[in-house]
Structure 1
Amino acid sequence: MSFFSRPQPQPQEGPVAGVLAGGQPEAQVIVPRGHDDVDDRKLSSYTELKVSLHQQLLDMINLSVIDKMPPAEFRAQMGEMVRELLARENRPLNRQEQAQLVDDVLDELLGLGPLEPLLKDASVTDILVNCHSNVFVERGGQLHPTAVRFKDDRHLLRIIGRIVSAVGRRVDESQPMVDARLADGSRVNAIIPPLAVDGPLLSIRKFAKERIDMEKLIQIGSVPQSVADLLVGIVRARRNVLISGGTGSGKTTMLNAMSAYIDGRERIITIEDAAELQMQQVHVARLETRPANIEGRGEVTQRELVKNALRMRPDRIIVGEVRGGEAFDMLQAMNTGHEGSMTTVHANTGRDALARVEQMIGMTGFDLPTRSMRAQIASALHVVIQLERMSDGKRRLVSLQEITGMEGDVVSMQEIFRFRRESTDASGTIHGHYVTTGIRPKFVSEFVARGIEVPDRIFDPNHVLE
């Protein structure tokens, strides 16, 4: 094979010269970091140069050979080609600028193409690709269109394939949906035709480079100091916690922040579909589910992992999110000596969260009486935390409730704190404050027994929570 698609007076030949294609440039636009407006503003001189070099390379090489060459060898030879092209452009760049330009162009070829600038932009939290021609990002909780484009659906599918193959997964017509993660832990979901009607869809929830801890949550207004102190006490007192909220409401972030207060001497088992929990302790065993292979075999579900975790001598079990029958096994673990365990669930209210857990128990196939299921829930769970992403983009803890037992056939709950929304200003920012219901939770007695101090004044309805 030849590297060039047709004879060209271009850079030197070598093994890479076997990458010959004959195709069109795949990426039409590369946006500079931080660019998020679909308008006619001119790209910077640097970005124009990068686009020019990238498109020249794509005209010259055969993309199908890229994945067959050792990455180090390909990068070295492509680097030489970029430098020769750059010399022909006669641009006044210093050595550092040239090196950065080479790296950026190679990112296009070996990385995730047009998405690379967005992945490197620290202000972007979510990247949402709706087919090849529409890419949106989330910044500060708000969605914005971008100028990023893929050449066509085939180009987008190639990038998706590169992502999922890196973690041993696949996506094709026989398995058109996939959950995966990037090397930095960012969560990825892709769905392709025939399930996606208009073309491939890709969602990337970026993994925060800077870990968001409880202090940061207080700083950004997601939770007041008084409630944060209580959450720390709940973790240290080994209360079982269910964190509830909608998509993107900050459930995993809250779970990570709370888990930082688990005693480092305890053995923690984490169970996830796509590993993204950030445990700070030393004694952590991380488990991840596995999808079925191309023959439909080899699948390992969360429920199987929860069952196996019970044989691993855990002190606490943390399930990233319960979605099915594993909820029953999780409750069983909480009821049999693994206190202080935590998990999350998708639900709009604390009461809805318990109803969802009840439905999941029904997915186990056991014909359990309703009262028996609810008794399991009431006995296993102690605290339900409700989170919400509000219209201004901010994630807030909106309710903290304690489960107190059963009243007849109903699981009884009492709310300790809630966020009271007061107004919305002209810019869309929501204003409000946290209030306490005046109820002193029963688990405070456990605090006293364990030597955990929480001021009683935070339960006073006249106390201003800060």
Structure 2
Amino acid sequence: MPDRPPLNLYRPVEPRRPSPRPGAGAPAAPARTLPSLPSIVTQLPPPPPLPAQGRRRPPVELDYEVVLALHSLVSDRVSDNLRGRQVGPDSQRQLTIETTREVVREHIDNRIQAGDQIPLGYEDALTDAVAAQLLGLGRLQPLLDDPQVKNIHVSGHDRVRVEYADGRVDEQTFTAAGSDAELLELLQRRAARDGLSERSLSTSQPILHLRLADGSRMVAAIAVTPRPVVVIRRHRITKVTLDDMVKLGSITPLLADFLKAIVAGKVNTIVAGLAGSGKTTLLRALASEIDREEWFAVMETERELALDPQRHPWAVEFEERQGHGERDAQGRPEGELRLVDLFPAMLRMNMQRVVVGEVRAAEIVSMLDAGATTQGTLSTIHARSADAALTRLAELLLRYGATPTPTGAYMQITGAIDLLIFQRVDKRPGQPDRHYVSDVIELNGLADNGLSVARSHLFRAQEPGGLAMPTGVRPNDHILQALSYGGFDVQRLFPETAAAAGTPWGR
């Protein structure tokens, strides 16, 4: 940006004395003397004019030159206040919010004394925008605060695509920042401050994976794309149970009871499906059935699950740590810790169950290690079908050196995973997405040729778009024992039993 001559942020005006109330005999209290504020940017424009009397008030419009100038003031004041002090993140956040209100109030006071009229709601909107620039995602923050927003796609600062839960798509209304450079600065600030450990976004590390404060998952890319690209996946449903999944139309009541028993019986389970199919929501629902008193681990490359701490006070979250600085002999940045590095320490903490989160790459090794050495493991993986999920697991094992042969890969899979659930999503333009479970498959060891997995469908959709219904196949002994431990009557899986009881089969 070209250099501009610095002019005063606030107009120099005399302090205002409040007018006495009608009938008040006491003299007015002395006016508060407004503090002297530094020169930062060019003369800022006044707030937008007040609407004409009787007209509907439009949304408050903000000049982001004002927002960025006040952002700089707040940042400087907070830094000065914290210098030499040890303050936790919650206290820092509270100090930032309080300082933002103070600086915006001073700005409004100066504008009023200069003769400007302040529209109703302008001060609150300005405070929110400055706070979002400091603590959130700037101009994108209102979208993160909107419960109806499902996904946000950004390609450069001026191109934003918003997908809503009801199927609407908006490609015209929003911008992410005033320039690509401003967007990059905002992303770098979030990378340094969000998450369990500091991350970076630079030409040497051009991809950023991050869980935002509200639980949304953000992926950003620079240098490897023509302009900065940001994708934010909103997790609109975070506190969810299997009974909630029934109400949402994703599973039948019978399957909900079956899965409750599976979790109670500590069956190793993986959820597969396409991106956006609802795998993470189903994983949260499964995890909601873990007993409140259970001590277990959650291992993720980036924190995303965000299990309810009230429901799971003894869950221990592990997150990969990004390395910085020089690389070691293996080519890894100094300080880097991957899930495979954290796994031995986790086992020494007496964990009986592990939730591994999403398996995309080398974390396949940790997930299968967890399945082979603990019980009740839960995880997810991207795949376009239930059968393709097993093939993808084997391919990842081969790619990341866990085994040299396909037979060895499938042997590891069957030794670590008992049950596979396939989650589907139906997308139609202009309509809400439909998420549902179509298949539940038990794994029964290697197939005869050793190049695939022997499997049985316990639940399967009976028609395209249908919910998973019991197939009448009797589960293997391991699954039966788990179902019995979880209090599930296995006879409910068979049509003749339902007919004798006079109840709809599969429901």
TM range (shorter): 0.7 to 0.9
- Is the 1:82–1:102 contact (alpha carbons within 8 Å) kept by the matching residues of 2? no
The alpha-carbon distance between structure 1 residues 141 and 377, as it changes in their structure 2 partners (threshold 3 A), is farther
Question: What is the 5 A alignment of 1:393-404?
Answer: 393-404=433-444
Q: 1-side partners of 2:234 and 2:376: how far apart? A: 28
Cα deviation per residue 1:65-84 (whole Å; 9 max; x = unaligned)?
65443034354122320354
Name the amino acid aligned to 2:278: G
Q: 1-side partners of 2:232 and 2:479: how far apart? A: 40
1:458 paired residue among 493, 503, 506: 493
Cα deviation per residue 1:202-227 (whole Å; 9 max; x = unaligned)?
11122437522222211111111111
- Is the 1:5–1:20 contact (alpha carbons within 8 Å) kept by the matching residues of 2? yes
Structure 1 residue 235: Cα displacement = 0.5
Q: 1-side partners of 2:209 and 2:56: how far apart? A: 36
Of the structure 1 ranges 275-284 and 135-144, higher mean CA displacement relative to structure 2 is found in 135-144
1:161 matched to 2:161: no
2:337 paired residue among 300, 304, 313: 300
Q: 1-side partners of 2:112 and 2:506: how far apart? A: 60
The alpha-carbon distance between structure 1 residues 365 and 183, as it changes in their structure 2 partners (threshold 3 A), is same
Question: Residue 297 of structure 2 corresponds to which residue in structure 1?
Answer: 269
In structure 2, runs of 5+ residues without a counterpart are: 14-32, 46-54, 79-95, 327-332
- Is the 1:307–1:329 contact (alpha carbons within 8 Å) kept by the matching residues of 2? no
Q: Identity of counterpart residues, as a percentage?
A: 26
Structure 1 residue 371: Cα displacement = 2.2
Cα deviation per residue 1:92-135 (whole Å; 9 max; x = unaligned)?
74xxx466334334335434222121111111122211211221
The RMSD of aligned alpha carbons is 3.1
Q: 2-side partners of 1:396 and 1:44: how far apart? A: 43
Structure 1 residue 19: Cα displacement = 5.8
Q: 1-side partners of 2:335 and 2:36: how far apart? A: 38
Q: 2-side partners of 1:9 and 1:311: how far apart? A: 60
- Is the 1:240–1:339 contact (alpha carbons within 8 Å) kept by the matching residues of 2? yes
1:412 paired residue among 454, 463, 467: 454
The alpha-carbon distance between structure 1 residues 321 and 312, as it changes in their structure 2 partners (threshold 3 A), is same
**Bigger radius of gyration, 1 or 2?**
2
Question: What is the 5 A alignment of 1:80-229?
Answer: 80-85=106-111, 88-90=115-117, 93=120, 97=121, 100-107=124-131, 109-110=133-134, 111-140=136-165, 142=167, 144-146=169-171, 147-149=173-175, 150-167=177-194, 168-192=198-222, 194-197=223-226, 199-208=227-236, 211-229=239-257
Q: Helix, strand or coil: the match of 1:352?
A: helix
Cα deviation per residue 1:346-379 (whole Å; 9 max; x = unaligned)?
1112222122221222244355433233122112
Name the amino acid aligned to 2:461: F
Q: 1-side partners of 2:132 and 2:103: how far apart? A: 15
Q: Helix, strand or coil: the match of 1:45?
A: coil
1:291 matched to 2:322: yes
1:282 matched to 2:313: yes
Of the structure 1 ranges 449-458 and 15-24, higher mean CA displacement relative to structure 2 is found in 15-24
Of the structure 1 ranges 434-443 and 314-323, higher mean CA displacement relative to structure 2 is found in 434-443
Q: Helix, strand or coil: the match of 2:154?
A: strand
Q: 1-side partners of 2:207 and 2:166: how far apart? A: 26
Of the structure 1 ranges 13-22 and 277-286, higher mean CA displacement relative to structure 2 is found in 13-22
Q: 2-side partners of 1:120 and 1:19: how far apart? A: 33
Q: 1-side partners of 2:10 and 2:479: how far apart? A: 78
Q: 1-side partners of 2:201 and 2:292: how far apart? A: 39
TM-score (norm: length of structure 2)? 0.76
Structure 1 residue 439: Cα displacement = 1.1
- Is the 1:107–1:116 contact (alpha carbons within 8 Å) kept by the matching residues of 2? no
The aligned length equals 429
- Is the 1:23–1:62 contact (alpha carbons within 8 Å) kept by the matching residues of 2? no
The alpha-carbon distance between structure 1 residues 228 and 24, as it changes in their structure 2 partners (threshold 3 A), is farther
Cα deviation per residue 1:186-242 (whole Å; 9 max; x = unaligned)?
2111111x2111x11111122437522222211111111111111111111110001
In structure 1, runs of 5+ residues without a counterpart are: 26-42, 423-430
The alpha-carbon distance between structure 1 residues 9 and 325, as it changes in their structure 2 partners (threshold 3 A), is closer
